[in-house]
Amino acid sequence: MSKQIRKIGVMTGGGDCPGLNPVIRAVVRTAVLKYGLEVVGFRHGYHGLYHNNTVPLTLDAVSGILPIGGTILQSSNKDNLFAYPFPENGQTVYRDVSDVGVENIEKNGIDAMVIIGGDGTLTSARDFARKGVPVVGVPKTIDNDLASTDYTFGFDTAVSVASEALDRLHTTACSHDRIMVLEVMGRYAGWIALAAGIAGGADAILIPELPYDINKVADVLLERKKRGKNFSVVVVAEGAKSTDGKMHVSKVIADSPDPIRLGGIGTKIAEELEALVGLEARATILGHIQRGGTPSSHDRILSTRYGAAAVELLMSGTFGHMVTLKGDNMCSAPLEEVIGKNKGVDPDCELVRTAKGIGICFGDE
């Protein structure tokens, strides 16, 4: 029988994401109103856990945050306490300081933790669970690339923003006889590009899971030109790569759990298509716009369900798990099974087949 839970800790790690505040709100409201627990937040993700930077999370503290983007707890996509960087003799050495995190959890009288994050943050959550900390994870990322759950929160909002961007780019494409290329985020997965491309009526969608041949994309755009369609709209995932190419790395952030930052492929594709199709082309890199701002109502509901389910899981004594969505049900999966598995788009899934069936080009055939 595990120890009775009276006080829980909450933290948000990794990049910000629409829906973080609704999760925090649901955790606090469920914990306080349903179970009479106390809740404390660690600020700036694992950085706050290391430095014991806490804030009481009362009902008042979470009042009014449902529609607000970002996270009231702030976040960090660095600060891995299992390999924490220290400067030493002009170099950086990495040490395991996770015991400090455990001490701070105990010092605050916290009986269990809700850790909200993507693969990097949840990898450390799993490692804390291995050290015996009662932990529940909540799957956050606009990329929708976490295994064991149908959808992560934040994805729906990112897709809505990207779809709206495609609608807006369509007007310039039509008015100026241009090819408009939209580069979206998603890291190594093409979920945002695929969903936004279908919702926004793209003529071509390029995703990492289906390496493209630019000549095949150009052929489809030339075919449209022949039919009198002197414009086209292309959406490309930041992680897309050609059949003989590599992903475009824009930056390396040395002390981040995943140091690679992708970006820039949209510009290359616009240049190549302009030359091959003979229409002017422009690239738009949507960037962090798709991650910021108010969450969609879908994400507010999903985040609320995730937050509430996380507390229920802790109260049932199920630790070391992540809350998941399976069909229409809230379930859970062991963090051990979730971590390190990138959930990419299945190139033969129904959504890809449907898109191909209505004539959207993926540059692969």
User: Which of 185, 210, 221, 314 is the binder for ligand F6P (CB under 6 A)?
Assistant: 185
Based on the shown chain and the rule CB under 6 A, indicate whether residue 261 belongs to the binding site for ligand F6P: yes
Region binding ligand F6P by CB under 6 A among candidate stretches 39-47, 62-70, 138-146, 164-172: 138-146
- Other Cβ atoms closer than 10 A to 276: 17
Q: Assess contact for 110 and 8: CB atoms under 8 A.
A: yes
> Residue count at the site for ligand F6P (CB under 6 A)?
13
Q: Assess contact for 148 and 339: CB atoms under 8 A.
A: no
User: Which of 12, 21, 141, 324 is the binder for ligand F6P (CB under 6 A)?
Assistant: 141
Instruction: Output the smallest distance, CB 116 to ligand F6P, in A.
Output: 13
61-67 contacts, C-beta under 8 A, 24 or more apart: 61/28, 62/21, 62/24, 62/25, 62/28, 62/29, 65/21, 65/22, 65/24, 65/25, 66/21, 66/22, 66/25, 66/300, 67/294, 67/295, 67/300
Closest of 206, 212, 200, 213 to residue 173, by C-alpha:
200
Our answer to whether residue 150 is catalytic in this structure is no
Based on the shown chain and the rule CB under 6 A, indicate whether residue 77 belongs to the binding site for ligand F6P: yes
Region binding ligand F6P by CB under 6 A among candidate stretches 1-9, 83-91, 137-145, 298-306: 137-145
Region binding ligand F6P by CB under 6 A among candidate stretches 98-106, 130-138, 182-190, 310-318: 182-190
Q: Assess contact for 322 and 122: CB atoms under 8 A.
A: yes
Catalytic residue among 79, 119, 127, 143: 143
Closest of 189, 13, 35 to residue 114, by C-alpha:
13
Based on the shown chain and the rule CB under 6 A, indicate whether residue 190 belongs to the binding site for ligand F6P: no
Instruction: Output the smallest distance, CB 189 to ligand F6P, in A.
Output: 9
Q: Which residues are marked as active site?
A: 143
Please report, as ranges, the residues that interact with ligand F6P according to CB under 6 A. 15, 77, 118, 141-143, 185-187, 238, 261-262, 291
